[in-house]
Amino acid sequence: MKGDSSAGLSEQSERLRGLLPRYAGAVRPWHFTIDVDWVPGSEVGLEGLLEFCDRWNLKATIFVAGRFAEAYAPLIRECGRRGHEIGTHGWEHGGLEHDEDFRSASYARQRDWIRLATEAVENASGVRPVVFRAPSLWIGETTVRALEDEGYQYDSSVPARRFDCGFGRVHYLKYFRAPTEPYRLSSSHLCLRGRSAIIEMAPSAFLFPINMATLRVLGLPVMKWMVRRIVRRSPRLVFYCHPYEFVSAHQQTFPHNMSTWNMQGMSPKNFSLLHAFVEHMVLRGHESSLFADSLSGAPGSAYDACERSGATAIDPLNGPVTALAGSDIAESRVGTHLFRSRG
């Protein structure tokens, strides 16, 4: 049964791609990403997402909380076997009443969380992860140093252009005007382009995030409109969803602080919504790609975009942030503070 439907959808995917000549030369990369929180019961959702990806020939970037990787090691290994890219997503994030907060934790604490998660994911998958997404997108400048020191290459946590208005967990404006195209992070301010080893791939947003929760709450027509608005300025799109969104809430174990509206919307039926969204993306000429592919340096790759870019970013709350052209010294003025840093 699975074989039949997979074949059907793969054919459909190919047929849809056949309708694309009008977008020839304008293929737009998008990143289909999955955040695997430490939620027992959600492994069923991850299995479903792996099948979904196979049907659409999607390669995903999968961020896994360390404890999940430890508990479901064979499933994480299977993710790698199917060609997906595996990163880390905190240590116990998803199962805690007071979540890991990378905005405020000390360097030593953050490094511990990253190290534990890295080891758990490496033990499960056999591959050392180099991509990171902070729990709840709560990231700080200290995180950049900790990631560099643990050998990471990519981050996808800076919530540029996002403000949840109380629905989700991102209602702070500090990083609202951070670049939306890939850029090298600076350890003095996350809105600054710097010369750290870490390339930022911001999760896409147009006030609300381009994720499964927005799709569930605001619906497909609004998501389509948001995607159109975003790609006008920046052709690369980063979407994310959680395995727990595709499993009924009563079959999973959540901490008490999980919001009621979120739990009520969890259902296997969400796969049909996701199907409609992916179909739309394929028809619009978006082609899924892995973060690691962007290391190729090919024209149009994230690495290329990141190395070419010299534009500056503005912090709306604290004033302009400037990188000095032609110098390896980056200078940033944030409010009354002047930061000078090499790169």
Structure tokens at 103: 């905005």
CA distances from 169 to 72, 143, 237 (A): 27, 19, 21
Nearer to Zn ion, 37 or 150 (CB): 37
Q: Does 92 bind Zn ion (CB under 5 A)?
A: no
* CA separation for the pair 2, 104 (Å, rounded): 46
Residue 286: enclosing H or E segment and its boundaries?
Answer: strand 286-288
Judged by beta carbon, residue 35 or residue 70, the one nearer Zn ion is 35
Instruction: Mark the segment that binds Zn ion (CB under 5 A) among 11-19, 35-43, 267-275, 293-301.
Output: 35-43
Q: Which of 33, 35, 152, 158 binds Zn ion (CB under 5 A)?
A: 35
Handedness of CA 311, 62, 134, 209 (dihedral sign): positive
Residues 36-55 that bind Zn ion (CB under 5 A): 37
Total number of residues binding Zn ion (CB under 5 A)? 2
* CB of 122 closer than 8 Å to CB of 189: no
Span of 2-10, 30-38, 169-177, 213-221 interacting with Zn ion by CB under 5 A = 30-38
One-letter amino acid at 179 equals P
Q: Cβ 198 to Zn ion, closest distance in Å?
A: 19
Phi, psi at residue 156, to the nearest 5°?
-140, 65
Closest to Zn ion by CB, 99 vs 315, is: 99
Measured from the CB of residue 89, what is the shortest distance to Zn ion in angstroms? 6
Closest CB to Zn ion among 35 and 85? 35
Non-local (6+) Cβ contacts of 119 within 8 A are: 66
Token representation of residue 63: 């961020």
Q: How far is the CB of 188 from Zn ion (least distance, A)?
A: 27
| Range in contact with Zn ion (rule: CB under 5 A) among 32-40, 215-223, 281-289, 294-302 | 32-40
The helix or strand, by DSSP H or E, that contains position 72, with its residue range, turns out to be none
Residue ranges in contact with Zn ion by CB under 5 A: 35, 37
